[in-house]
Amino acid sequence: MASRKEVAELAGVSEATVSRVLNGVGPIKEETKRKVLQASEQLGYVPSALARSFARSKSGNLGVVMPYVPKAHLFSAYFFSEMLSGIGNKARESGMDLLVMFRTPDEVMNYTDLFRRQKIDACIILGARDDPGELAALQQLQQEGHPFCVMNQHFAGQSFVEVDADHIKGSRQAIRHLTDQGYRKIAFLNGPDSYSNSQERLQGVQMGMQEAKMELDPSLLLEGNYSRRSGQEAAGHIANRLHEIDAVFAANDRMAIGVMHGLRERGIPVQDFPAFVGYDDSDAAEMAVPPLTSVRVPFYEMGELAARKLIDEKVGSPPANVSSLSSVSTRHLLPTELIVRASSIR
């Protein structure tokens, strides 16, 4: 393992010059540059990222906090992988590495320590919970001026940098798709109300209904927990009132598929199925029988956006912006898209 000193000697320059050449800073004579590069090459010199981080007191790592998922089974791994890839892509472009952390069930994440330990320079939180402990931790982060971004969860009344998809519009699209085809008796299987995501979907559904001069029948508003099983259970209600229901919109694909399963279990033939629309456009949607119409969420792009936000922020933008507008627009919503498949076509 060649050291920088050796390179400097071989090239006949000082160590500082070696640094400058390799980091491409400062004015350097072409000749010197060549010599250094050549010596470095010859000796197979690789600068230590560790020493560099230390000297700069920057780790060069972008932290990513993954939610706790019991053996990754509760939620689909699908969208976390997508987001992670998106983040990783942007991170690489700017020369940062990804430090991935898995949240444990109980433990209240101490985000600030992560920064103080200097393990990370910025942080993306995928599994933010909506409880007071979490909120406090995030507020502290913000107060100490650490760059971070929350994905998939909105904290009302805060000015956190947030990236999410536009679930209001997404749900509206789904409902419109159904009402446009003449479906009137629409059941909505939402996720737990504690997620901002679920609340937004509900808003979107209501808007969509209103646009069609209809209203969501409260007795057709069901709640699951985003698991397939909960969809399967909801199928009981739906089966009982099958004649009063001609379409089902579920807040994610897994629940939609769960409902289909539940109906099958109860011996209901496919031709008697209501129309189905799911959400997320995960792999499962196209594998479903019948293939499931679903609201596509640009998880990959969301990951990219979140990473970019943080990287830009860190790089050089002045902390104080011209107008206070910026504090209003810390939430970034990406558009969804309805992917129509057989499950929802008359």
The verdict on 337 binding its own copies (CB under 8 A) reads: no
Task: List Cα–Cα distances, 50 to 22, 59, 200, in angstroms.
Answer: 16, 8, 44
The verdict on 17 binding DNA (CB under 7 A) reads: yes
Q: What is the DSSP string of 37-56?
A: HHHHHHHT----HHHHHHHH
The verdict on 26 binding DNA (CB under 7 A) reads: yes
Among 23, 41, 97, 184, contact with its own copies (rule: CB under 8 A)? 97
Among 9, 37, 43, 47, contact with DNA (rule: CB under 7 A)? 47
CB 190 within 8 A of CB 255: no
Which of 47, 291 has the CB closer to DNA?
47
The verdict on 20 binding DNA (CB under 7 A) reads: yes
Q: Which of 136, 132, 137 is nearest to 65 (CA)?
A: 137
In degrees, rounded to 5, the angle at the alpha carbon of residue 237 between the alpha carbons of residues 234 and 238 is 85
Q: Which of 171, 126, 152 is nearest to 337 (CA)?
A: 171
CB 149 within 8 A of CB 124: yes
Among 37, 43, 98, 207, contact with its own copies (rule: CB under 8 A)? 98
The verdict on 84 binding its own copies (CB under 8 A) reads: yes
Q: What minimum distance in Å lies between the beta carbon of 70 and its own copies?
A: 10
The verdict on 55 binding DNA (CB under 7 A) reads: yes
CB 35 within 8 A of CB 46: no
Among 34, 56, 184, 266, contact with DNA (rule: CB under 7 A)? 56
The verdict on 300 binding its own copies (CB under 8 A) reads: yes
Which of 33, 261 has the CB closer to its own copies?
261
Q: In whole angstroms, give the CA distance from residue 146 to residue 44.
A: 37
Among 9, 37, 43, 52, contact with DNA (rule: CB under 7 A)? 52
Give me Rg for the CA atoms of the chain.
26
The verdict on 34 binding DNA (CB under 7 A) reads: no
**How far, in whole angstroms, is CA 301 from its chain's centroid?**
9
The number of C-alpha atoms within 13 Å of 163 and in the hemisphere containing its C-beta is: 26
**Contact mark string toward its own copies, 196..235, x via CB under 8 A:** --------------------------------x-------
In degrees, rounded to 5, the angle at the alpha carbon of residue 76 between the alpha carbons of residues 200 and 131 is 50
Residues that bind its own copies (CB under 8 A): 1, 46-51, 53-54, 57, 59, 61, 64, 66, 69, 71-73, 76-78, 80-82, 84-85, 88-89, 92, 97-102, 104, 113, 116-119, 228, 254, 257, 260-261, 264, 283-284, 286-289, 300
Residues that bind DNA (CB under 7 A): 3-4, 12-17, 19-20, 22-23, 25-29, 31-33, 47-48, 50-52, 54-57
